[in-house]
Structure 1
Amino acid sequence: MDFRISPKIEETRAAIARFVEEEIIPLEADRGAYDAHGNINKAHLEPLRRKAKEAGLWCLQLSRETGGGGLDKVGMAVCYEEMNRSIFGPVVFNSAAPDDGNMMVLEKAATPEQKTRWLDPIVSGEVSSAFAMTEPAPGSGSDPSMTMTTAERRGDKYVINGRKWFITGAESAQHFIVMAKTSDDPRRGLTAFLFDADQPGWKIERRIPIMGPEEHGGHCELSFDGLEVDASNVLLGEGLGLKLTQMRLGPARLTHCMRWLGLSKRSVEIAQAYAAEREGFGVRLAERETIRQMLGDLAMQIEVGRLLVMKAAWALDQGSFARKEVSMAKVHVANLLHKAADTGIQINGARGYSTDTPLEWIYRYARQARLVDGADEVHKMVLEQHLTKEDRGFWSWDVMAE
């Protein structure tokens, strides 16, 4: 097994590292750089995005034909981790959720005409997007087959009615993908539709307040009351919505993990720096055995997470859905992020609890990690299903062709 990366990926990683260190991290200490919801404000974001484009660090996850950098999933794992050394990093490079996952699935599933209309403006940064799947109970959550929003075919249009909630980025999004039920078929009953924010027949009921900092556009509750979508704006094909969600959610879950590893490493970095300078009772914190054990354990857990993410990324690059690999990475890294932030705060004491460092931001943000894109318990259930089906084969290695 070869864990080396190509010189090109290393060159890109190093360029991202320099950009984050020199251009983005200094803004974290400027309270004027934040918007009302704890993210970087547009006035500071747009100049950074222009610089990222000029540096060739824009949309690295997409093919060069689409306007991206042509990274595979292994390359993304390396580069996304570096981007999220800063809490503001991913959005600067147009690699933040939900645009990240939406662009990747549109690149795979959209027709040429749909790419021109719906994908290209997101790639350029002209508009942002949202993916509307989750619904209030008893509608779909982690199980998209429970979708209650309906789409009725009427001639060359579909009429959509229903409700969605916790839709990330909806308040600032212009382009939407919405999942709706077109039949009662358990496998082919869902369909994905593309619509524009300016179309009538839908509205944002509220921006839902949350505990942590938010992506641009927040997390919103939407209602659909007769939204008309042309048949030409069906994505992938009628009845193929479940396949579309599988295409989108697996890679999107893994990109979350890639970014969360960056935040976990940053938490350790802040803790190390403070422990190295802070003295108590005549001893530096960094010399205390308990502190060294805390940091050593985190270093090990981060490396475990990196290996899980890299294996899942490699499997995706081989054409696998990598369901169990992604689930293992998702559970481990989500919990790791919370532990890293918590440990960082504990070592920094009151300083960590304050806004003098990004630790409290990361801590508030981290709690959602165990919920978004499937709760821990759902992913563990997926793993048990694989274990029951595969038995001892669950732990088998792929064998090279001779």
Structure 2
Amino acid sequence: MDFTIDPRTEEFRRRIADFVETRIMPLEQAPSAFDAHENISLDSLADLRAGSRAEGLWCLQLKPENGGQGLGRAGMAVCYEEMNRSIFGPVVFNAAAPDDGNMMVLEMAATPKQRERWLMPIVEGKVRSSFAMTEPHPGGGSDPSMMLTTAERRGDRYVVRGRKWFITGAAEAQHFILLARTSDDPRKGLTAFLFDRDQPGWRIDRRIPIMGPEEHGGHCELVFEGLEIPAENVLLEEGDGLKLTQMRLGPARLTHCMRWLGLSKRCVEIARTYAAERFAFGSRLSKRESIQMMLGDLAMKIEIGRLLVMKAAWELDRGGYAQKEVSMAKVHVANLLHQASDTAIQICGARGYSKDTVLEWIYRYARQARLVDGADEVHKMVLNRRLESEGAGFWRWQVAG
């Protein structure tokens, strides 16, 4: 088993690390760099995005013919972790959700004509995008079979009616991927569509207030009241919506984990620095066994997370689906991020709880990790199903050749 990375990936990692350290992280201490929803302001972002493009660090995840660098999932794991050393990092490199997952699935599933119309403007940074799947009760969430939003075919168009919510980035998005029901077939009843913000027949009902800082465009509730979508804007074929969802969500869950590992490492970094500088009861905090155990435990769990993520990335790169690998990584890293931010705040005391560091930002952000793209319990249930069907084969090694 080879755990080395190639020199090209290491060069990207090194350059990203330098860009994050010198260009992005200083803005975390500047109130003017934040927007009203605690993300980086669009003016500050525009300048940094221009810089990352100029240095060839833009859209590393896509193929060269689509404006990327063809880094592959394993290379992305290395680089995304480095990007999210800063709370602002991924979006600067056009590697943040939901654009990241949308670009990757459009690259895989869209026709050449659709890629030109819907993918390339996102790649070029001209527009943002959103993925509209989740619905309010009793509609579809982790279980897409419960989806209630419908798309009725009328000639060469589909008419969409229904409601979606917690749609990330919707308030800033121009391009949308929409999942809707086109039949009652349990496997082929859903279809994926592309639509533009400026089309009539839909609206944003509200931007849902949440506990933590928000992605650009927030998390919105959408209402569809007769949106008409041309048949040419169907992704794949009618009835392939579940397939499209699986193509998108697996890799997107994994890229979340890649980024969360970067934030987890940042928490440890801040806590270690504080523990090395802070004296209490006659000695540095870093010399106390209790602090050493807390930090050592986090270091171990971060490395476990990196191995789970890299195993899943390797499986995807070799053409596998990595369903159980992604689920294991998702559960572990989501919980790790919450523990890392909580432990770092505990070590830093009142300073960690204040806004003098980014720890409180990460802590509030971290709580969503155990919910987005499938709650912990759903992934554990999926893993148990695989265990039931595979038995001892659940842990089998892949044999070369």
TM-score by length of 1: 0.99
1:98 and 1:69 map into 2 onto residues whose CA distance is 19
Alignment of 1:2-401 (within 5 A): 2-401=2-401
1:319 and 1:180 map into 2 onto residues whose CA distance is 28
Q: Which residues of structure 1 form unaligned runs of 5+?
A: none
Residue identity opposite 1:337 in structure 2: L
Q: How many angstroms does 1:320 deviate by? A: 1.1
Residue identity opposite 1:133 in structure 2: M
1:94 and 1:383 map into 2 onto residues whose CA distance is 32
1:164 and 1:319 map into 2 onto residues whose CA distance is 32
Residue identity opposite 1:62 in structure 2: L
SS at match of 1:8: helix
Q: Which structure 1 residue ranges, 4+ long, deviate > 6 Å from structure 2?
A: none
Q: How many angstroms does 1:69 deviate by? A: 1.3
1:137 and 1:45 map into 2 onto residues whose CA distance is 36
Residues 194-225 of structure 1 show CA distances to partners (whole Å, capped at 9, x for unaligned) of: 00000000000000000000000000000000
SS at match of 1:252: helix
Q: How many angstroms does 1:43 deviate by? A: 0.8
Residues 306-361 of structure 1 show CA distances to partners (whole Å, capped at 9, x for unaligned) of: 00000000001111111000000000000000000001100000000011100000
1:146 and 1:256 map into 2 onto residues whose CA distance is 25
2:374 and 2:112 map into 1 onto residues whose CA distance is 31
1:237 and 1:118 map into 2 onto residues whose CA distance is 17
SS at match of 1:65: helix
Q: How many angstroms does 1:192 deviate by? A: 0.3
TM-score by length of 2: 1.00
Report % sequence identity.
74
1:317 and 1:59 map into 2 onto residues whose CA distance is 17
SS at match of 1:96: coil
Q: How many angstroms does 1:191 deviate by? A: 0.2
2:275 and 2:15 map into 1 onto residues whose CA distance is 29
1:221 and 1:152 map into 2 onto residues whose CA distance is 21
Residue identity opposite 2:328 in structure 1: M
Residue identity opposite 2:240 in structure 1: L
1:243 and 1:321 map into 2 onto residues whose CA distance is 12
Residue identity opposite 2:28 in structure 1: E
SS at match of 2:64: coil
2:385 and 2:245 map into 1 onto residues whose CA distance is 20
Q: How many angstroms does 1:146 deviate by? A: 1.1
2:380 and 2:320 map into 1 onto residues whose CA distance is 19
2:144 and 2:123 map into 1 onto residues whose CA distance is 27
2:120 and 2:237 map into 1 onto residues whose CA distance is 20
2:59 and 2:276 map into 1 onto residues whose CA distance is 37
Q: Which residues of structure 2 form unaligned runs of 5+?
A: none
RMSD: 0.4
Q: How many angstroms does 1:145 deviate by? A: 1.4
2:367 and 2:237 map into 1 onto residues whose CA distance is 36
